Amino acid sequence: MRVFLTGATGFIGSRILPRLLAQGHEVIGMTRSEAGAQALAAAGARPHLAVLEEPAQVAAGAETADAVIHTAFDHNFATFAANCAKDETVIAALGAVLRGSDRPLMVTSGTGMGDPGDGGPAREDLYNLTHPNPRSATEVALGKQLEAGVNGRVMRLPQVHDTRRQGLISYYIQISRQQGSVAIAGEGGNRFPAVHVNDAAALYALAFDQGGPGARFHAVAEEGIAFREIAAIVAAKLGLPLVSLEGEALARHLGWFAGFAGLDMPASSALTRDLIDWRPSGPALLDDLRALEAED
């Protein structure tokens, strides 16, 4: 199968690529730069130069593909809502190319979209239309493509980590270093789900063409780690005090991250594991934080 992979040189995409090749697929890899194109060619993929700001340019990579895995996303949280809207536009452009065929399109979202709203873990069989996360634009966009007959599905991600990056927690570490202390919301009992980047990549490679249109997968290895445990390790690694803040004090300290700091976001992957033989085996989030590599 010829697979078009957006974000092919990114944190997750660069791990998906070798798995697809090992499974015997051809890969068209999207990248923004000539250096990225050279790296993809050296890895055995066919480079496709494009940027998310030009949806038609991105979608051209899908013209000859048998399937699409869309992982590219602008992670600048200062413009998060706009970036989510941009993702909606890219998905629409990809859908226009795939419409009228059974070629699968897998897009990327967050586990929060499966939040039941009652404190229980997010589930694959739920889509919370009232969830405040702007990333819901991705699944709204996919829904429109499903209505148009596109064979779409979604991979929902928790905090994806290794010893250098840990999803939202990477930004939390940067902010804590700048502020000189590590803050938690109240007692920090809220939970974050997690998965090692290699396990997430393995699931993409296994699941991108599985399930029917509208299938949802959760790349969750750990259902929920208490945020106070995350913060305690960050404080120890940085040699900074751990402080409990609330309200305006928390907002001043953490800025945009304050909106995430107190969220309780447990998530299950039970339905995913029922469908896919996926057995995550990578290091746990807290272990990767303990082994955190220093910034360059």
Tens-digit pLDDT profile for residues 68-107: 999 999 988 878 889 999 999 999 999 999 999 999 999 9
Domain co-membership, 198 together with 178: no
- Give the residue, 128 or 218, on which the prediction is more confident: 218
Domain co-membership, 202 together with 256: no
The arithmetic mean of pLDDT across residues 137-163, rounded, is 96
Range of the domain at 228: 162-193+224-265+283-290
Alpha helices in the chain (DSSP H): 13-22, 34-43, 55-59, 80-98, 136-147, 168-179, 197-207, 227-238, 247-254, 258-261, 270-275, 285-290
Domain co-membership, 205 together with 170: no
Domain co-membership, 84 together with 71: yes
Only one residue has tokens 């890895």, namely 43
DSSP output for 86-121: HHHHHHHHHHHHHTTS--EEEEEEEGGGG--SSSSP
pTM of the model: 0.95
- Give the residue, 128 or 239, on which the prediction is more confident: 239
Question: At residue 132, does pLDDT exceed 80?
Answer: no
Counting the structural domains of the chain, the total is 2
If pLDDT is split at 50, 70 and 90, which confidence band does 296 have?
A: very low
Question: At residue 55, does pLDDT exceed 50?
Answer: yes
The 10s digit of each residue's pLDDT in 249-288 is 999 999 999 989 999 999 999 999 999 999 999 999 999 9
Domain co-membership, 97 together with 78: yes
If pLDDT is split at 50, 70 and 90, which confidence band does 128 have?
A: confident
The arithmetic mean of pLDDT across residues 123-144, rounded, is 89
Q: Which of 111, 35, 108 is nearest to 68 (CA)?
A: 108
In a domain, 204, yes or no: yes
* Cα–Cα dist 172/284, whole Å: 18
Domain co-membership, 199 together with 260: no
Only one residue has tokens 């429109």, namely 144
